[in-house]
Amino acid sequence: MSTRRKILYAASTASHLRRFHMPYIEALRCKYDVFLMATEGEGIDFPISFSKSFFSPSNLRSVFRIRKILKRERFDKIIVHTTLAAF
């Protein structure tokens, strides 16, 4: 078990993380255990599907799934970079 602090980096799509945030994620990985949450994709630790409509029933299911992940993993910090993922 790692004693390093845990960070969750979340966005609505994996491509958003790859295009805009990988340099920051890689820098954080020097000191922290960094986990990624987004739609399925390479390197995503917690794949979550998001519908573009905020009030879609599938988003409600995703909210409950995210809640379980947050309770189980107990992240020290959560970084969210898209409105949909923050919702």
pLDDT value, residue 87: 64
Q: What is the pLDDT along the chain (87 residues), one digit of tens a residue?
A: 568 999 999 988 899 899 999 999 999 999 999 999 998 888 999 999 888 777 888 888 888 999 999 999 999 999 997 776 666
pLDDT value, residue 85: 67
CB atoms within 10 A of CB 70: 14
SS3 60: helix
pLDDT value, residue 7: 97
pLDDT value, residue 58: 85
pLDDT value, residue 5: 96
